[in-house]
Amino acid sequence: MSRNALVLFSGGQDSTTCLADALSRYSHVETLGFDYGQRHRIEIEVRRTVLARLRESFPQWAARLGDDHLLDARVLGQVGTSALTQDVAFAMQADGLPNTFVPGRNLLFLTLAGALAYRRGLDVLVIGVCETDYSGYPDCRDNTIKAMQLALSLGLERPLAIETPLMWIDKAQTWALAHRLGGDALVRLIVQETHTCYEGNHTLRHPWGYGCGTCAACQLRARGWEGYKRDSPNPRSQESPAP
Ligand code: ZN
């Protein structure tokens, strides 16, 4: 049974939920973020805040939470532009993918994560990709991730599992998962501290957190929150196991 995990952690709703999930299951968990020249540095900044709040609010998890790593992946910017790294308007490309798609990003991230896991003696990678309500990114697909797991395990000559706790659930279910893992305290922490907005807006506060409210990421997060609230009008009445 694997006991050590490396969570790809961006400071967003999804990866924070994945981190809580890993902390509830593994005795030692490290985190990894990437600087790939994001247009909005807020993503890099909120990572540290989320980690600090998790340590404060969940002492039982703090004991399991190990080093945080930040790797430079700005080489992605040399390959070409995307709406996430350059100040260009969001649009659909001719191939049907949104121009927020950064080709090869998750493939590179998983390769770097596998190399770091090798060095750190960690045998599970956790990534918050999702096929259910994603934007059609081909590197979020279950088959892509399974192929990467095989490639990394072969190429590193070491069994390396890639876990995707969110692969088959939607955003409403992701909020519900956070509630099961850490109750109202974790849901509040995710609402208040995580960042998802493509526009880097961290001043407008909505019931579901900060963001411009109109970009695709904000709309997805808002719809998920509404669905979560609709399905669980009184979350306090649900079972709320201690994290
Ligand atoms: Zn937004």
Is pLDDT at 2 greater than 60 in this prediction? no
Average pLDDT, stretch 110-128? 97
Q: What is the pLDDT of residue 239?
A: 43
Q: Residue 203 Cα, ligand 1 centroid: separation in angstroms?
A: 11
Ligand 1 ion: Cβ-proximal residues, 5 Å cutoff: 197, 199, 211-212, 215, 218
Q: Residue 8 Cα, ligand 1 centroid: separation in angstroms?
A: 22
98: pLDDT confidence band, cut at 50, 70 and 90?
Answer: confident
Is pLDDT at 240 greater than 70 in this prediction? no
The CATH architecture annotation of domain 5-163 reads 3-Layer(aba) Sandwich (3.40)
Q: Residue 44 Cα, ligand 1 centroid: separation in angstroms?
A: 16
Q: Residue 213 Cα, ligand 1 centroid: separation in angstroms?
A: 5
Is pLDDT at 91 greater than 80 in this prediction? no
DSSP string over the chain: ---EEEEE--SSHHHHHHHHHHHHH-SEEEEEEEES--S-THHHHHHHHHHHHHHHH-HHHHTTEEEEEEEE-THHHHH---TTTSS----B-TTS-BTT--TTHHHHHHHHHHHHHHHHT--EEE----SSS----GGGSHHHHHHHHHHHHHHTTS--EEE-TTTT--HHHHHHHHHHHHHHHHHHHHHHH----TT---S-EETTEES-SSSHHHHHHHHHHHHHHHH-S-GGGS-----
Q: What is the pLDDT of residue 86?
A: 63
pLDDT above 90 as % of the chain: 69
Q: What is the pLDDT of residue 65?
A: 98
- Range name among 78-82, 150-154, 188-192 with the lowest pLDDT average: 78-82
Q: What is the pLDDT of residue 94?
A: 76
Q: Residue 121 Cα, ligand 1 centroid: separation in angstroms?
A: 37
Q: Residue 12 Cα, ligand 1 centroid: separation in angstroms?
A: 12
Q: What is the pLDDT of residue 174?
A: 97
Is pLDDT at 160 greater than 90 in this prediction? yes
Q: Residue 40 Cα, ligand 1 centroid: separation in angstroms?
A: 12
Q: What is the pLDDT of residue 40?
A: 76
Q: Indicate whether this model's pTM tops 0.95.
A: no
Q: Residue 148 Cα, ligand 1 centroid: separation in angstroms?
A: 30
pLDDT in tens, 131-155: 876 667 888 899 999 999 999 999 9
Q: Residue 209 Cα, ligand 1 centroid: separation in angstroms?
A: 10
